[in-house]
């Protein structure tokens, strides 16, 4: 990966990240907040690649300020998702300022406005520290990650290790556009996206308010919940079979 390609990628993704954040602050749309978080994850994946392959890079450490905004956005996003999972109507934070989602939104805005002015200096530091990375090193990184994920999925265990596999898969996917031309490994993007989404659905189910609270649950409700959980697990079992071959074979 040439330095100029890394800088170009970084600048484009940073621009999108700030645009989504500013759009949320202006319009209050949850989709903008979600897209902002996705952009942070993409940049974090890029810095993970750089930190792993460039000695003393410490890009993710330099990205700390933006990760603080990301963390606060996550708290706000979780409040919104819990509201949505409880089958409540879309909240209007202006007409209903006392709702938890409205309070969380105000708290987020105050913190972001404090951090936002400082992010420009962070941008300069990060851009300055982007370095060229040997194509062979990138290839080895992908090979190692794929082998480690394959090892973690065999035998398959439904615990936090599975969620960690999802994070690793997303790092590979987020960086694939940047390194694809010189990688030497063809990823089956559709398969990997399907697998990480299935793991994400399972993990979201584990954290769902209905499952965690246990309030007002009947035998019928418990039975439905157990069937949902079993279906999510069956999907993952099917998708994780022969992971390495499927992840590196296009059209599977």
Q: What is the pLDDT of residues 40-80, one digit of tens each?
A: 999 999 999 999 998 778 999 999 999 999 999 988 888 88
Q: What is the pLDDT of residues 28-38, one digit of tens each?
A: 899 999 999 99
Same domain for 88 and 172, yes or no, is no
Q: Which of 175, 168, 172 is nearest to 151 (CA)?
A: 168
pLDDT at 251: 59
Residue listed under structure tokens 């194509």: 135
Same domain for 188 and 110, yes or no, is no
Same domain for 8 and 115, yes or no, is yes
- Report if residue 186 sits inside a domain: yes
Distance CA 21, CA 14 (A): 11
Residue pair 6/131 in contact (Cβ under 8 Å)? The answer is yes
Residue pair 129/57 in contact (Cβ under 8 Å)? The answer is yes
Q: What is the pLDDT of residues 131-163, one digit of tens each?
A: 999 999 999 999 999 999 999 999 999 999 999
What tokens does 24 get? 């949320």
The Cβ-side half-sphere exposure at 78, using a 13 Å CA radius, reads 10
Same domain for 62 and 104, yes or no, is yes
Same domain for 83 and 158, yes or no, is no
Same domain for 152 and 117, yes or no, is no
Same domain for 10 and 109, yes or no, is yes
Residue listed under structure tokens 């954040």: 21
Full residue range of the structural domain in which residue 97 is found: 3-128
- Report if residue 142 sits inside a domain: yes
Q: Tell me which of 90, 113, 128 is where a domain ends.
A: 128
Q: Which of 132, 128, 131, 126 is nearest to 64 (CA)?
A: 126
Cis previous bond, 209, omega within 30: no
- Give how many domains the chain has, as a whole number: 2
Distance CA 129, CA 131 (A): 6
Q: What is the pLDDT of residues 114-133, one digit of tens each?
A: 888 888 889 999 999 999 99
Same domain for 114 and 155, yes or no, is no
Distance CA 125, CA 146 (A): 31
- Report if residue 118 sits inside a domain: yes
Residue pair 187/169 in contact (Cβ under 8 Å)? The answer is no
Percent of the chain with pLDDT over 70: 87
- Report if residue 65 sits inside a domain: yes
Same domain for 16 and 119, yes or no, is yes
């Amino acid at each position: 990966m040439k330095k100029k390609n890394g800088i170009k990628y970084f600048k484009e993704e940073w621009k999108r990240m700030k645009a989504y954040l500013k759009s949320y602050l202006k319009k209050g749309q949850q989709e903008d907040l979600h897209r902002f978080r996705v952009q942070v994850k993409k940049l974090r994946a890029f810095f993970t690649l750089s930190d792993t392959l460039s000695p003393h890079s410490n890009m993710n450490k330099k990205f700390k300020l933006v990760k603080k905004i990301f963390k606060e956005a996550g708290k706000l996003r979780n409040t919104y998702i819990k509201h949505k999972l409880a089958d409540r109507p879309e909240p209007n934070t202006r007409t209903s300022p006392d709702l938890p989602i409205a309070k969380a939104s105000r708290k987020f805005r105050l913190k972001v406005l404090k951090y936002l002015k400082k992010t420009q200096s962070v941008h300069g530091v990060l851009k300055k520290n982007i370095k060229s990375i040997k194509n062979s090193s990138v290839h080895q990184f992908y090979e190692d990650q794929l082998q480690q994920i394959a090892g973690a999925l065999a035998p398959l265990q439904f615990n936090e290790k599975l969620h960690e596999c999802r994070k690793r898969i997303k790092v590979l996917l987020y960086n694939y556009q940047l390194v694809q031309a010189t990688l030497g490994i063809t990823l089956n993007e559709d398969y990997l996206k399907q697998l990480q989404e299935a793991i994400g659905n399972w993990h979201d189910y584990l954290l769902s308010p209905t499952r965690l609270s246990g309030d007002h649950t009947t035998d019928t409700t418990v039975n439905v919940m157990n069937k949902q959980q079993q279906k999510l697990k069956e999907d993952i079992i099917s998708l994780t079979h022969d992971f390495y071959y499927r992840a590196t074979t296009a059209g599977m």
